[in-house]
């Protein structure tokens, strides 16, 4: 079941039936945004795994991307990204 990428709450959504104006009932953030898409990935170019997507600058706002597919919710990506960077940096720290 998909979750909101902003607050982490589970969303009751049937398949990809997400309208451009749909908002998370828990935090009010846009659901049809890059961060809620299954193609969103901080580790790739333009933060999108779809090579032909016209990626908007605002990853949090609603958009018209035709390739949007609801994902599992990149719950707290920034926190997990920071944790990954810290783990990588610790590999190279002198003891």
Q: How many residues does the chain have?
A: 95
Would you say 39 and 74 are in contact if contact means Cβ atoms under 8 Å apart? no
Which tokens in the block code for residue 72? 């599992």
Evaluate if pTM is beyond 0.85.
no
Would you say 37 and 71 are in contact if contact means Cβ atoms under 8 Å apart? yes
Distance of CA 80 to the CA centre of its chain: 12
Confidence (pLDDT) at 3: 85
CB atoms within 10 A of CB 81: 13
| 26 pLDDT above the threshold of 80 | yes
pLDDT tens-digit profile of 31-79? 999 999 999 998 898 999 999 999 899 999 999 999 999 887 654 455 5
């Amino acid at each position: 079941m998909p979750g909101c990428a902003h607050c982490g709450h589970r969303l009751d959504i049937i398949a990809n039936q997400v309208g451009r104006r749909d908002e998370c009932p828990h935090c009010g953030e846009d659901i049809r945004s890059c961060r809620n898409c299954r193609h969103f990935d901080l580790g790739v170019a333009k933060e999108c795994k779809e090579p032909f997507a016209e990626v908007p600058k605002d990853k949090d706002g609603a958009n018209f991307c035709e390739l949007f597919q609801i994902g599992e919710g990149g719950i707290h990506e920034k926190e997990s990204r920071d944790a990954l960077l810290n783990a990588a940096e610790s590999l190279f720290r002198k003891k």
